Amino acid sequence: MARKLNIVFLVVIAVTALLQSSVAQTTFQVGDALGWTIPSSVSTYSTWAANKNFIVGDILVFNFTTSQHTVAKVSKADYDACNPNNPISIQTNGPATVTLNETGAQYYICTVSTHCSFGQKLAINVSAATSSAPPPSTSPATTPTPAPALAPAPTPSRGPATYIVGDTLGWSVFSNASVAYQNWASNKTFFVGDILVFNFANRTHNVAEVTKQNYNSCNTTNPLSLNANPPVRVTLTKAGEHFFTCTVSGHCSAGQKLAINVTGSTTATPPSSATPPSSTTAPPPPSTTATPPSTTTNPSVPSPTGGVTPPPPPPPPTSSAASLRVTGLCAAFLSIVLVFLN
C-alpha cells in the first residue's frame, strides 16, 4: 500500500511540473541580413554564431536562392575538409529551415562547388532545453494587494544613433550585396541626427550620395556628395529618402548600394501622457479629498454603528491564480487517488 502511495505522489509531482514548465523557442536567421551565401570573410559565420546560445527546439533559417546554394548537415571531419560527398542531411530549396533536435556540436556547409572553402560553413553547439517556469510561492495563503494603477510613463526620446552599415560585412562587394544591404536597413528606423558609418579598406571603395534616379541606374557621374577616406561617417541632416552607392567601376551594379528613409527628429515622439483625456471617453480624475455620498443612492441610510468604514471590495485576481488552480487540481487528483486506494 505504501509503495502505491509513493507512486501516486510522484505522478502528481510530475503532472504539476509539466503543467508549470515552459521552454522558450528562438528562431535564428543565419547570417542575419547577409543570409546564407559566400561571405567576404571565412570567419563571418563563426563570428555570427559566437555570441548566441542555441538550445534544443530552436530553429535555424538559411536564406538563399534555390539552385544557387544548399544546406548540408555534415560530420566534423567533413566540415573541416569541406567534403560534400557524405551529408547527414541536405536541403536544396531556399529558404531552408532546420530545427535543432539534439545537443552537442553541429556542422553545416554549402555543397555547391567551392562555396564551403570560401567560408560558407557554420558550426554551432546546442545545449539542452531548460524550464523557465517561476518557482512556487512560499506563501500561497497571502493574497498580495495589487499596486494602484499608475499613469503610463512618457515615451523617452532617444539621442542620435550610430549605425555601422552592413554590420560585420562593412561596405563592400560580395554575393547578393544589394539584397544584404536592403535586408540590413529593413528593420531599422532612421531619424534626423543619426549617423551612418561606412567601413572599408582605403582606396578600395568610396561613398557617394546620389539622387533616386542615379541610384536606380547606377549613374555615379553627378553625386550629391562623395567621400573616399574610411571610415566614412554620414550624419543624416534631413528627413526623406537617401541613396548611397560606390562609384568605383562595376561596384554599384554588383550591389554595393544602400537606400534608406529618414523620418523626423529623434525627439519628435511626444510623451504619451501629454494629450489630455477626452471628456467624452475618459472618467474625470479621482479627487484628492473624500468623496461625498452620492445623491442617487439612499442618502438617508445611516452609517454602520460606530462609524466604521465598510471594507473595500476584494482585489481582482492576480497572476498567481493560475498557479493556485494548478496546485488545487493536483491536490484534488491526489485526494481522489487516495480515496480510491483506501
Q: What is the pLDDT of residues 149-202, one digit of tens each?
A: 555 544 446 678 999 998 888 999 987 787 889 899 988 999 999 999 999 998
- The answer to which of 65-69, 215-219, 318-322 has the lowest mean pLDDT is 318-322
Closest by Cα among 280, 38, 275 to 152: 275
In contact, 246 and 265? CB cutoff 8 Å: no
Give the model's pLDDT for residue 302.
44
The amino acid occupying position 226 is L
When comparing pLDDT for 159 and 206, which is higher? 206
Residue with cell string 541632416: 237
Give the model's pLDDT for residue 45.
94
DSSP letter (8 states) at residue 212: H
Residue with cell string 561596384: 251
Averaged confidence pLDDT in the chain: 76
Q: Which of 141-150, 299-308, 316-325 has the highest mean pLDDT?
A: 141-150
Give the model's pLDDT for residue 265.
67
pLDDT digits (tens, 9 = 90+) for 245-265: 999 999 999 999 999 999 976
Residue partners of 38: CB distance under 8 A and separation at least 6 = 115, 118, 119, 120, 174, 175
251 SS3 class:
coil
